[in-house]
Amino acid sequence: MSSDSPSGEDKLIARFFGPIATDPGALGLSDDAAFIKPPAGCEMVLKTDAIVGGIHFFTEDPAAAVAQKALRVNLSDLAAKGARPLGFLVSLALPKGVDETWLTGFASGLREDAATYKCPLFGGDTVRSPGPIMVSVATFGSVPDGRMVRRSTAKPGDHVFVSGSIGDAVLGLGLRNGASWSLDDKQREHLLSRYLLPRPRNALAQAVLDYASASMDVSDGLAGDLAKLCRVSKVSADIEVARVPLSDAAKVVIAQDAAQLEPALSGGDDYEILCTVPPANVDRFRVAAMAAKTAVTDIGTIAQGEGARFCRADGTTLNFKRASFSHF
């Protein structure tokens, strides 16, 4: 064999990922790097997250869903910053036994979401791993100069909003781990799908950019992530538990097992947007969210002080044993 023959890795990249790298800056994945130029008057927003088999997904999960989850958890962060996706890089660590069928499914899921979210592939890496499958995605997006919406800029008097519904993913994980709540097929499928495939709220990004004072995505649990926002903004938050949006399926679970309220509020993988909105912008934010066909709910207010308080209807405070998911 001649020394200039393509390696097995080169063939793998060309076959499975070359067709996804449609932007000219990707150079057809034929180079060591790629290039991108942000739109005029914009700056780059950068984000990377990894998912690992046995922690973020089950080994039996469809390969297409694994790919889509890896990309979507990153897109969720871009949405919370008010950013428009520009592209992504992906690195794969693959153990022995991962075959062409798995790679075909993975590439198919990645291709579908790259098109859906208008976020093309620019490159990445593939390596052999002795451990579980690991997928690391780095996304980049754009916002107008100086306008990225940060965590650290919430102000007393702001309203606290969340998109979608909270707690579905952690309850879906409970089902995967053998929980035996009494649910109909539709409710069960809803919870399972919310764990398997996040729904990044990129349609809401422009509303966040235009009207929010601070924003982040809910990846490690509403209670813990709100506490992070409050800490860096040097404010407090008062949240009414009864106003936190729950899906019908989550309500059924909590009605059967009240202890599930705490993990619903503190578990990870929601990938909803948590943002603060000044009073003068609340109505416009609601209208923009409606135009984006994304549900948003006002769950409380920002105040002076420290910490995030979750209050029950009787005025007592819900104290969390564990406010958020943590790897360490």
**pLDDT at position 274 over 60:** yes
- 185 with 304, same domain: the answer is yes
Q: How confident is residue 324, by pLDDT bands cut at 50, 70 and 90?
A: low
What CATH number is given to the structural domain containing 260?
3.90.650.10
Residue 325 forms part of a structural domain: no
Residue 196 forms part of a structural domain: yes
Residue 70 forms part of a structural domain: yes
Residue 18 forms part of a structural domain: yes
**What is the rounded average pLDDT of the residues 10-15?**
82
- 136 with 220, same domain: the answer is no
- 262 with 215, same domain: the answer is yes
**What is the rounded average pLDDT of the residues 43-66?**
95
Task: Give the structural domain span for 80.
Answer: 8-144
What pTM did the predictor assign? 0.92
- 164 with 301, same domain: the answer is yes
**pLDDT at position 161 over 60:** yes
d(CA 113, CA 137): 13
- 164 with 304, same domain: the answer is yes
Flag the least confident range among 85-99, 153-167, 310-324. Answer: 310-324
What CATH number is given to the structural domain containing 35?
3.30.1330.10
Q: How confident is residue 95, by pLDDT bands cut at 50, 70 and 90?
A: very high
* Of the candidates 281, 13, 1, the residue with the CA atom closest to the CA atom of residue 158: 281
- 57 with 194, same domain: the answer is no
- DSSP conformational letter for 25: G
- 230 with 127, same domain: the answer is no
**What is the rounded average pLDDT of the residues 256-274?**
95
pLDDT score for 325? 58
Residue 328 forms part of a structural domain: no
Give the total number of structural domains in the chain. 2
- 218 with 268, same domain: the answer is yes
d(CA 81, CA 273): 9
- 179 with 120, same domain: the answer is no
**What is the rounded average pLDDT of the residues 217-235?**
96
- 139 with 165, same domain: the answer is no
The token pair that represents 133 in the structure block: 């499958």
**β-sheet with 272-277: strand ranges across:** 214-218, 272-277, 159-163, 296-303, 236-240, 307-311
